[in-house]
């Protein structure tokens, strides 16, 4: 995360040099020092990969530094426990909102079950890896995009095909 936070994307022709500079500054452990070249190449490739979908050819490297808010902490008040909202109520709302083919519909179905008739309320705290302000296409309105870098382990230890956990359809 630290590397992506520090990269200045305002000079796209110098992106590889900038990434290398930040990699050298941040990845200082003995283990990582020997991999600076491959880390630099991997990060440049990831930053130049288009987001796709409704965002088209926009990529992380094309987002100006001023249009990127890194590590945004938040505290969000949820409903009061006195309101008698249940976790299963949230599942029902999500289920009604999603097409049956959506990747989250099975989860929403489970969340709607009686086993989730649990009182819901309190305070939610967390951190968003980055909020990006982008204009997907000329003439379109600016959009705020919430991003998660997915630098965490997604596969199960001992999985026969661990890379399947990182397939594009699993990351969106």
Give the residue numbers marked as catalytic.
148
Q: Which residue has the tokens 């006195």?
A: 82
Residues across the chain? 172
Q: Rounded to the nearest 10 degrees, what angle do helices 15-26 and 36-47 cross at?
A: 130
CB atoms within 10 A of CB 39: 20
Structure tokens at 151: 């630098």
H-helix or E-strand containing 3?
helix 2-6
Beta strands 123-134; 143-147: pairing state: antiparallel
Q: Give the SS3 label for residue 85.
A: coil
């Amino acid at each position: 995360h630290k590397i992506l936070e520090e990269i200045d994307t305002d000079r796209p022709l110098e992106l590889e040099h900038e990434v290398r500079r930040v990699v050298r500054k941040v990845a200082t452990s003995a283990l990582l020092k020997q991999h600076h070249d491959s880390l630099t190449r991997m990060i440049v490739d990831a930053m130049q990969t288009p987001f796709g979908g409704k965002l088209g050819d926009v990529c992380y490297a094309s987002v100006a530094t001023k249009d990127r808010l890194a590590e945004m902490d938040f505290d969000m008040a949820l409903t009061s426990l006195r309101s008698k909202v249940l976790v299963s109520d949230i599942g029902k709302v999500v289920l009604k909102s999603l097409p049956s083919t959506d990747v989250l519909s099975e989860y929403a179905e489970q969340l709607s079950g009686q086993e989730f008739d649990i009182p819901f309320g309190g305070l939610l705290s967390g951190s968003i890896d980055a909020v990006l302000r982008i204009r997907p296409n000329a003439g379109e309105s600016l959009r705020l995009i919430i991003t998660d870098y997915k630098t965490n382990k997604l596969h199960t230890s001992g999985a026969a095909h661990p890379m399947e956990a990182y397939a594009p359809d699993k990351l969106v």
